[in-house]
Structure formats: structure tokens, C-alpha cells
Amino acid sequence: MNRYYVPAQSPWPIVGAIALFLLALGAGTLVNELAHQQSGMGRYLLLAGALLLLLMLVGWFRHIIGESLGGLYSGQMDRSFRQGMSWFIFSEIMFFLAFFGALFYARLIAMPWLGGEGHHVLTGQLLWPDFTAHWPMTKTPGGTQTQAMPWQGLPLINTLLLLTSSVTLQFAHQALERGQRLRLKIMLLLTLLLGTGFLILQGVEYLHAYRELGLRLDTGIYGNTFFMLTGFHGLHVTLGAIMLTVIWLRIVLRDHFTPEHHFGFQAAAWYWHFVDVVWLCLFTFVYLL
């Protein structure tokens, strides 16, 4: 007889909503305070939101893991989890497509049009006299001159790190399916170290862009798209690293997951591979072309 587990009411969704509200409110308040060189409640609201979000994650993860290990989930519930994770990743694909669409529109439509393509009488009248339709746009109407971020160096190293992390994660998955626990722990830990290295080098890249290239979020459309795409991708790498950390701790501390039942591992792996594919697109269209 097929059965479908219906969980009891949980406080964690509303706790998560409150945490995200405090994070958004705190971040907005802190930015406003920094802009006016003031001190206030912004940092405390931000900290409270972060702590409450951490509490929610720990509590909700513990609740779900307990239900799974308790044998409460049926095959139908497993399919529901797979469908939910698939739709979540699909929504993230749409999220990044919107930002890539903005990049393509600026480069392929707006910039040539403003440069006079098909409308030569408008050249130099809508922007500034010495405007040239060339990407990346490293000069703003206010006269600020920036430099484009080259693809060599840190971006290339980060690409190699993420690609290697996908390989090590696949090795970890194979080890889990074959019951090779030690290899699983080592490969998954190596994946986490590579992901952490990526985030550290991205921070170094941002410092280099700000201090030496004059590239900031407010330096025209190039700075906007560069930091928007790379910043949100870095946020997704952080989320993926948190997922894999939870999985690694479950394996090391509790010996969770078996070759037959390990969708929690699979879901985190799906997300990590998705993040890697997004980076390849980002590296190609933001850095190379």
C-alpha cells in the first residue's frame, strides 16, 4: 500500500521569513548609514537576521534529517523532493538568464544604437561627444575612466578551481555509490576546499578591481553588469558550499547516506554542478568576449 507522509505544522518557514526580512532591512539601513557616515541599528539588524537564519537552517535541517532517518518518507515523497529541487534549479536558471539578458541587451542592442547604428543623427547627442560604441565601456559620462577585468590571472584560476571541484564531487558521488567511505570523505572535503579557494580569490579580485582598476558598481553599465553577475554567482557558490558542508558533516560525524539512499547528497551535487555551468557562461561572456 502506498503511503504519503504529511508533516506536522512547522515554525521554520515563518522563522526563515523573519530572518530574511531582518537581513534585508539591516542591509538597507546599514548602506544608508554608511552613505551618511552615521551609526545606528543597521549592523545589529543585519547580525540578528544572520543569526536567526542560521538558527532556522540548523533547526529545519535537523527536522528533515530526523524524518528521513525515521523511515517516514515513501517513494512518492522522494519523487516530490526531486521535483522540488529540479524546479528550484530551474528558477535559478531563469534568474541568471535575466541578468545575462540585460548584459546582451546592453552590448548588442543599446550600445550600438546609442553609438549611431541606424540612427546616425543621434551620435554624440544622447551621451557625450567622444562616446564610442565599444565594449567594455570603460568610460562613464561623468568622465570616470576604468579598466576592464582581464580573463587571465585570477578569473582563469577560479575557472580551473570550479571545474576541478566538479570532477572531485563526481568522484565523491561514485565513491558513495560504491561504498568507499574514506574516498568519499576525502573527495568531498577537497571539493569544499576548492570552492572556498574560489570565494577567497574572488574577494581578492574585487579588491584588485576597486583599488587598481577603478572598477566599481557605480562605474557605468560595465561595472554594473560585472559586479551583478559575478556577485550573485559568488552568493550561489556560498550557498552550494553550505549545502556540501552540511552533507560532509553528516557523513563524517553521523555516517549518513547509503549507496541506495542519498538524495540529500545528490541534490547538493546537482546545485554545485549548476553553479559551475553558470560560471563557464559567465567567464565566457563577461571576461572573454
Complete domains list, the chain, with CATH: 1-73 (1.10.287.70), 77-288 (1.20.120.80)
Highest mean pLDDT among 12-21, 65-74, 126-135: 12-21
Q: What is the pLDDT of residues 55-114, one digit of tens each?
A: 998 898 888 888 888 877 777 778 888 999 999 999 999 999 999 998 898 888 877 777
**Cα–chain center distance at 22:** 20
pTM, entire model? 0.84
* Closest by CA position to 135, among listed 20, 226, 232, 201: 226
Mean pLDDT for 255-262 is 86
Cell of residue 39, nine digits: 551609526
Mean pLDDT for 31-57 is 87
DSSP 283: I
Flag whether pLDDT at 124 surpasses 50. no
Q: Residue 235 to residues 51, 55, 178, 195, 241: CA-CA distances in angstroms? A: 18, 19, 32, 12, 10
Please give the pLDDT value at position 287. 87
